[in-house]
Structure 1
Amino acid sequence: MAAAAGSPALAAPLSWKPGVEGQRQADLGDGTFLNPIVAGDRPDPTILKDGADYYMTFSSFEAYPGVVIWHSRDLVNWTPITAALKTPIGSVWACELIKHKGRYYIYIPARYPDRRSTYVIWADDIRGPWSEPVDLNLPDHIDPGHAVGEDGKRYLFLSGGDRVRLTDDGLATDGPVEHVYDPWRYPVEWDVEGFAPEGPKITRRGDWFYLITAVGGTAGPPTGHMVIAARSKSIHGPWEHCPHNPIVRTKSKDEKWWSRGHATLVEGPAGDWWMVYHGYENGYWTLGRQCLLDPITWTSDGWFKANGGDLSKPLRKPRGGQAGPNGLALSDDFSTSKLGVQWAFADPAPGELDRVRYDRGLVLKGRGTAPKDSPPLTFVAGDQAYEIEVDVEIPAEGTAGILLFYDKQLYCGLSFNARTFITHQYGLERGRPANPNGRRMRIRIRNDRHIVTFHTSPDGRTWTKFDRQMEVSGYHHNVRGGFMALRPGLFAAGRGEARFNNLTYRALP
């Protein structure tokens, strides 16, 4: 689909050299890999094997353009290629990416405060153009999982053990929602967030349909989330619980990965089998749920077991396949658009993309008075420690700056107008010391394992440390809710347009 008149072009499909700065590398180069395979806020992975290619996407929540599709040929090295969803439909939760009879579909649960449903978009080429969202009118469920039964009919399995049949074109429901499955229950002594059956995924292998489900809650105690399985020889059941349940679970808060769950099975390039799922990194709720890869083996009785342990150590890479480009260069000279692949607006209003244009840098039209009413442009960072520098030029009556943004009520950062600096902390505008640099300066933000500091420079050579530091380990879901992550971002408020140039991102040791 073409960009609307006056709107900036979305990013063209991208590819990057392996080992780019700013992205933790899973591939260790010696035939092994170390999780995560996609670092940072990449929750609820849904994966598609399409011949020799693999495609994966994640929950994008309030970020638009969203539902970024990633590509790999070996399950370890991934690069983003496009953002499939441009039209805001609410906070996007766990999607389902599938291919059926030569056409690609993404089923997307989304919610506004006053409107919830599941939508579908489709494309004949994975790189797009993708259709506008089609509303399936499913207000009471999340986490669709697509399946084709032995009857040739299409179904969406839903949260809570429910299911609905689809029309043959996959663009509407064909009958009522029905309850078809009662998930296995964990011992009452375990510390979990809640039962919360969600993320149903169907894999057909041999004579069996395998139903993979997440229970225990996606956050809360580190030991809550888990992966369970059931199987049936018919899409209509009855479903038999796996005797090995749970297949995956974080057993202790001392483990490297917390709240592991929400899995999809996938066959590797040479016929071995794997699970992708998500987990929080120990001590780093702020990075969001990151994408993990776990090897499985099929047992003699037709079930499967996970072999990766707690995923804290390197694992042998999938056999076969081809290592390709990996990661995303987060430094940006703004000479071309990376909208929809790196950059996204946080909870945008209709027409938000019209605020952006490229002219000797990134030009962002001001809106509102602060990040709480001026949606910032943000991106996902996957490192525990990093620093970012950017040149900022503001108009006479405007304000602009750099942030770490969770949502409209929780963020921190530094901005300035022609007269003063403005500090942002806990989602509030606080101190306003004098600004000696005028309307143009270079700003550095450093997030060193949750300790945040700022430096400013009039020329990019002489730096002054700003006299307010912050600690942000509590800027996450278990404090604020929302399931999101703390993302670096840029914002502009007030009248006129701010210009950003020469953004550099550097991971810290």
Structure 2
Amino acid sequence: MRTYENPVIGGFHPDPSVCRVGEDYYLVCSSFEYFPGVPLFHSRDLVHWRQIGNVLDRPGQLELPDDLPASAGVYAPTIRHHDGRLHVITTNVGGGGNLLVTSERPEGPWSDPVWIDLPGIDPDLAWDEDGSCWCAVSGVRVARIDPATGKVLEGPLPVWSGTGMQHPEAPHLYRIGDWWYLVLAEGGTAHGHSVSVARARSPRGPFEPAPHNPVLSHRSTDSPIQCTGHADLVQAPDGSWWMMLLATRPRGYFPQFHVLGRETFLTPVEWVDGWPRIAPVAERHPAPRGAWHPGEPEPVRDDFDAPELAPRWISPRRRPEGSWSLSERPGWLTLTATGDSLDRPGTTFVGRRQQHPDCRAAVRVDPGSGRAGLSVRMDEAHHYDVEVGGGAVEVVARIGPVRQSLARRPVPPGPLTLAVDIRPTDVLPPTVTAADQDAPGIRAGGPDTIGFSVEGPDGAVKLAELDGRYLSTQVATGFTGRVIGMYVTEGSATFDWFDYTSA
């Protein structure tokens, strides 16, 4: 029997929403303070996904000011196909509220935003038989809207408050048979996260809850997959039903730490007596029936030979013209400093999400007379960096209010290779030997070890190894995960290639 492994999209890809157009599936996720916003994926089998773009890919669609806090920005998009067009509705928290964009093609171009005159987050779209468009938001409230103008035509109507758990949010409305179903997230997005369902004959309600709510939750279980919730339903061409949802993979000693953020998982759905029955989310499931489309694997290395940056590359809040170039030194990415520290917004940074617990990222950099490096980032107050400038390479850790240089050594001028190796093994304090590992009072309980090295004319040199728990949601707080990227804080630097491999 063919099987698939969860997560189907690893790394910081939370709040998935999915729709099917013929035999093609399209999926979007939250992007928070990163630009471009709303990553867009394509699949033919629900298992193998490839990012084909970003929905909000130009400043006119997405304004994220420098004073936007980390984990604000773009929340919980919904993607739907109606009347020959794809629609994506989302919330820009701290940047204008709910907005809707459309496109005839998933590759774009996507329209300028239509702002929806409706408070709340996590907006959803559904259409009834007469063509009326309904928008549900956290709360849970439903309004009939004009998607062309954003005007609210009816409501918002309070339709269901969930089962009594905190934070009823992420509502999705579906017309299935003679019923309208409302799928809701409850319990917060941590270990109490869950999925509940209600149904009604009309989107106006009244909604009756499923008798077995919550229909999905991993709370108080020993599953390696936790925080299951924020779900969306999709029907395959063969009639089977599936649920895309977010979850985490915490590691380490109690209370455990998740470092990749909330990831996208897939689980099967059955319908029993008019209600969905959701299978517990396992690390491996029987695959959907039908065609299997692995597609081309994502390139391991980016040599920066293309005319545009690949869609996986993201930057905090903005990526202004003049801060980057692929033509100034052909075959290299040129970055120019717009700020002097990763500890504050406004610094030139181009990165990609860490998607695997065990991985390696390396970059070939020519710092010139500038200062540049490779960073593992959660936010401005939580990042580990290896940087080169002024004739030296240095490893710096920023953890909350503390910033410390942990290693420094001279290097010759010219290109160098900087690397970060992340492995899911415990790290001991440097004064503790392996023989002391089981000694009383010593516990290595972090989720992983983050090691930094430099490779120059004399070969590779390991610079430092750091405990990964300080770059986790449990320490940094917020809704995002790690991003590994290139940065410049002084002058300009060029990058020949970036290499990312998983174990």
* TM interval, short-chain normalised: 0.7 to 0.9
Residue type of the alignment partner of 2:115: D
Q: CA RMSD in A?
A: 2.0
**Alignment partner, residue 74 of structure 2:** 92
**Alignment partner, residue 117 of structure 1:** 97
**Alignment partner, residue 189 of structure 1:** none
Secondary structure in 2 aligned to 1:141? coil
What displacement does 1:199 show?
Answer: 0.6
Matched, 1:218 2:200: no
Name structure 2 gaps, 5 residues minimum: 65-72, 252-256, 425-447
Q: Could you tell me which of 462, 468, 477 is aligned with 1:465?
A: 462
Alpha-carbon distance in structure 2 between the residues aligned to 1:289 and 1:124: 30
Secondary structure in 1 aligned to 2:91? strand
Alpha-carbon distance in structure 2 between the residues aligned to 1:285 and 1:230: 31
What displacement does 1:65 show?
Answer: 1.4
**Alignment partner, residue 106 of structure 1:** 88
8 Å contact from structure 1 (residues 65, 340) kept in 2? no
What displacement does 1:175 show?
Answer: 4.5
Matched, 1:402 2:374: yes
Residue type of the alignment partner of 1:444: A
Q: Could you tell me which of 271, 281, 302 is aligned with 1:332?
A: 302
Residue type of the alignment partner of 1:325: G
What displacement does 1:486 show?
Answer: 0.9
The CA deviation string for residues 57-105 of structure 1, in whole angstroms up to 9 with x for no partner, is 1001122112121111111111111111122334111001111211111
8 Å contact from structure 2 (residues 420, 450) kept in 1? yes
Matched, 1:441 2:416: yes
**Alignment partner, residue 136 of structure 2:** 157
Alignment of 1:49-60 (within 5 A): 49-60=20-31
Q: Could you tell me which of 41, 44, 49 is aligned with 1:78?
A: 49
Alignment of 1:320-469 (within 5 A): 320-325=290-295, 327-336=297-306, 339=309, 341-348=311-318, 351=320, 354-358=323-327, 359-373=330-344, 374-396=347-369, 398-427=370-399, 428=403, 430-431=405-406, 433-449=408-424, 450-459=448-457, 462-466=459-463, 468-469=464-465
Alpha-carbon distance in structure 2 between the residues aligned to 1:429 and 1:352: 32
What displacement does 1:133 show?
Answer: 2.3
8 Å contact from structure 2 (residues 16, 244) kept in 1? yes
Alpha-carbon distance in structure 1 between the residues aligned to 2:298 and 2:21: 22
Alpha-carbon distance in structure 1 between the residues aligned to 2:239 and 2:375: 45
Structure having the larger proportion of residues in strand? 2
Return 338-347 or 61-70, whichever deviates more.
Answer: 338-347
Q: Could you tell me which of 240, 246, 261 is aligned with 1:272?
A: 240
What displacement does 1:364 show?
Answer: 0.8
What displacement does 1:178 show?
Answer: 3.1
Q: 1:353 to 1:137 in 2, by over 3 A?
A: farther
8 Å contact from structure 2 (residues 124, 137) kept in 1? yes
Q: Could you tell me which of 177, 184, 197 is aligned with 1:206?
A: 177
**Alignment partner, residue 43 of structure 1:** 14
What displacement does 1:256 show?
Answer: 1.4
Give the percent of matched residue pairs that are identical in Structure 1 and Structure 2: 27
The CA deviation string for residues 448-469 of structure 1, in whole angstroms up to 9 with x for no partner, is 122111111223x711111x32
**Alignment partner, residue 144 of structure 1:** 123
Matched, 1:499 2:459: no
Return 171-180 or 354-363, whichever deviates more.
Answer: 171-180
Alpha-carbon distance in structure 1 between the residues aligned to 2:495 and 2:301: 12
Return 381-390 or 418-427, whichever deviates more.
Answer: 418-427
TM-score if structure 1 supplies the norm length? 0.85
Return 163-172 or 411-420, whichever deviates more.
Answer: 163-172
Name structure 1 gaps, 5 residues minimum: 1-29, 187-194
Alpha-carbon distance in structure 1 between the residues aligned to 2:149 and 2:310: 26
Return 247-256 or 200-209, whichever deviates more.
Answer: 247-256
8 Å contact from structure 1 (residues 269, 321) kept in 2? no
- The count of residues paired between Structure 1 and Structure 2 equals 457
Alpha-carbon distance in structure 2 between the residues aligned to 1:408 and 1:96: 29
Alpha-carbon distance in structure 2 between the residues aligned to 1:232 and 1:71: 32
Matched, 1:285 2:258: yes
Alpha-carbon distance in structure 2 between the residues aligned to 1:338 and 1:77: 24
8 Å contact from structure 1 (residues 118, 135) kept in 2? yes
Residue type of the alignment partner of 1:463: A
Q: Could you tell me which of 261, 273, 279 is aligned with 2:229?
A: 261
Q: 1:353 to 1:172 in 2, by over 3 A?
A: farther
**Alignment partner, residue 25 of structure 1:** none
What displacement does 1:180 show?
Answer: 2.2
Alpha-carbon distance in structure 1 between the residues aligned to 2:143 and 2:310: 31
Residue type of the alignment partner of 2:231: A
Q: Could you tell me which of 274, 291, 295 is aligned with 2:268?
A: 295
Q: 1:174 to 1:356 in 2, by over 3 A?
A: farther
Alpha-carbon distance in structure 2 between the residues aligned to 1:181 and 1:413: 47
What displacement does 1:357 show?
Answer: 2.8
Q: 1:494 to 1:432 in 2, by over 3 A?
A: farther
Residue type of the alignment partner of 1:499: T
What displacement does 1:218 show?
Answer: 0.8
Secondary structure in 2 aligned to 1:259? strand
**Alignment partner, residue 128 of structure 1:** 108
Alpha-carbon distance in structure 1 between the residues aligned to 2:147 and 2:490: 50
